[in-house]
Amino acid sequence: MFGYPGGAIMPIYDALFDYTNQIQHILVRHEQGGIHAAQGYARTSGRVGVVFATSGPGATNLVTGLADAQIDSTPVVCITGQVFAHLLGTDAFQETDVINITAPVTKWNYQVTDASEIAETLAKAFYIAASGRPGPVLVDITKNAQLQKVPYAGYQKCRHIRSYRPAPFVRSEYIEAAARLINEAERPYVIFGQGVILGNAEQELQAFLEKSGIPAAWTVLGLSALPTDHPLNMGMLGMHGNYGPNVLTNECDVLIAIGMRFDDRVTGRLDKYAKQAKVIHLDIDPAEVDKNVKATVPVWGNCKDTLPLLTSKVQPRSHTAWVQRFKDFKQKETEKVIEPEMKPAGDVLSMAEVIQSLNEITKGDAVIVTDVGQHQMVACRYARFNQSRSNVTSGGLGTMGFALPAAIGAKYGAPNRQVVAIIGDGGFQMTLQELGTIMQFGAVVKIIILNNNFLGMVRQWQQLFHDHRYSSVDIQSPDFVMLAKAYGINGQRVNDRANLNSAMAVMLESSASYLLEVMVGKENNVFPMVPQGRGVAEIVLSADEV
């Protein structure tokens, strides 16, 4: 668990002192770092991440992480201290109304004012956080309840709350209707999201795709659910996704959406999105069906349950000509975007070649944690993945500063795996204090800073849509390598292509944490791009087309 002590949570930390041998508490440097670490842990391990914070500022510092976990469906339990119950509402020292502040960004929250409620509330908290569509839960415990002594009846796992339905009833009629549409389809197309990972349904997805022969593309959060090399993996959806997966969304006849929520970054303009297609939407959350895109056939339920039912009813087929169309688009994208990115003409390094260098050594086995911005899109586009739960990023909220603390948590969640954080020069400066957490507790995290001396994504937009008016994007950085040294972390800076691969190897082979700063092209852009306000088929491959 991750956390930071303070006045109103001291009795809990006092109790923790007796369990030092059984419970590892990672003292972070800021509560936001604590919750992002808990998120990283949850994303790689599939278990619930836990974070402790004190009342007032401790609790409000969790809000960004809660919002992030809420929109990305990450199971996290936050336990916050609160002032004595008799002081509630008196503007007491470090009192804040954390229950109301966090109501919009938690799946559930509850304030405990009596110790007799603690065991049951925590059991409920973990059940709610992890079940159904997962999400963050916050339990606020007043100091009097922490100090109060009550007879303890033991911990009983919560398995049922009468007002809460984690998963809807699966109806066979829909499965049949969906299978019928798929079997009649000429150009069926699967788009999948994190629901596949959260439902542990990677095998079920693969079985469905392989039997039906349907090409598939992924959202940023669905990335790594299907290995990069899988013959039916067509690439990434959305604003900076691949060419074919976007364009062909508007040419398929049946669109099968699995565990994804038709985010605006995926769909572009909704009135120009897949209008020709019949839509089958598999989701565990009934509120997602018809929210953004109307479903012809909704399949409510965990895709772990619904996919095998669907697989059993679809005919074995191969859609060779249709898959070939994706490949043709890929060919064009490779010529116009990917090749020039991977092998830039000049001396200036590109982000893509750094990712490629990483791929060549890790072969797709690493956990990759990204922050938000250009480097994130480039990493998602080019990083290779062999196994699920390997891509950790802030997708929905787009939280700069997410990657460093999330990578620390990701390492605790997957201690035997290589964890690489890829971060921009801007985002790194938002939570760099967590280098102190690495220094103190020794989580082995490899950090790549892709430094373009700009807030790159904002600059790209200013270039393309605001007439080159670079307003407040020219950000200066400290000497990151020296900074890491101050925290006892080795590192080096790479300016030249000639040193990239060897520096990458040194970083990956290091048995301790390591920071690699790579200086990349200052004004490089991420393409393809679906400009805001346009349809997915209007994706452009270069700035000239915008």
Where in the sequence numbering do the catalytic residues fall?
31, 93-94, 143, 457
Q: Is 111 in the site for another protein (CB under 8 A)?
A: yes
Name the residue nearer to another protein (CB basis): 173 or 467: 173
Name the residue nearer to another protein (CB basis): 42 or 254: 254
Name the residue nearer to another protein (CB basis): 165 or 230: 165
CA distances from 496 to 72, 395, 493, 506 (A): 37, 31, 9, 15
| Cα–Cα dist 15/162, whole Å | 33
What single string gives the DSSP state of each residue in 206-270?
HHHHHHHT--EEE-TTTTTSS-TT-TTEEEE-STTS-HHHHHGGGT-SEEEEES----HHHHBSG
Convert residues 61-100 into a mask of x (bound to another protein by CB under 8 A) and - (unbound): --------------------------------------xx
Name the residue nearer to another protein (CB basis): 297 or 407: 297
State which of residues 23, 103, 147, 512 lies at the interface with another protein (CB under 8 A): 103
Q: Is 298 in the site for another protein (CB under 8 A)?
A: yes
Stretch that binds another protein, among 62-70, 173-181, 391-399, 516-524 (CB under 8 A): 173-181
CB 341 within 8 A of CB 353: yes
CB hemisphere CA count around 161 (13 angstroms):
19
Secondary structure of residue 186 in the 3-state scheme? coil
**479: amino acid identity, one letter:** D
State which of residues 300, 382, 428, 487 lies at the interface with another protein (CB under 8 A): 300
CA distances from 74 to 65, 68, 276, 423, 468 (A): 10, 8, 33, 21, 37
Residue that has been written with the tokens 């899988």 in this structure:
230
Secondary structure of residue 390 in the 3-state scheme? coil
Stretch that binds another protein, among 86-94, 141-149, 169-177, 517-525 (CB under 8 A): 169-177
State which of residues 265, 291, 332, 493 lies at the interface with another protein (CB under 8 A): 291
Q: Is 364 in the site for another protein (CB under 8 A)?
A: no
- Cβ neighbours, 10 Å, residue 20: 9
Convert residues 241-280 into a mask of x (bound to another protein by CB under 8 A) and - (unbound): -------------------------------------x--
Name the residue nearer to another protein (CB basis): 167 or 226: 167
Copy the structure tokens of residue 298.
Answer: 């909704």
Stretch that binds another protein, among 160-168, 196-204, 245-253, 516-524 (CB under 8 A): 160-168
CB 512 within 8 A of CB 444: yes
State which of residues 157, 162, 468, 469 lies at the interface with another protein (CB under 8 A): 162
Q: Is 104 in the site for another protein (CB under 8 A)?
A: yes
CB hemisphere CA count around 166 (13 angstroms):
18
Is-cis flag, bond preceding 5, omega within 30? no
Q: Is 304 in the site for another protein (CB under 8 A)?
A: no
252: left (phi over 0), alpha (psi -120 to 50) or beta: beta
Q: Is 157 in the site for another protein (CB under 8 A)?
A: no
Name the residue nearer to another protein (CB basis): 210 or 253: 253
Stretch that binds another protein, among 163-171, 191-199, 432-440, 478-486 (CB under 8 A): 163-171
Binding residues (CB under 8 A) for another protein: these are: 99-100, 103-104, 107-111, 128, 159-165, 167-169, 171, 173-174, 177, 278, 285-287, 290-291, 296-298, 300
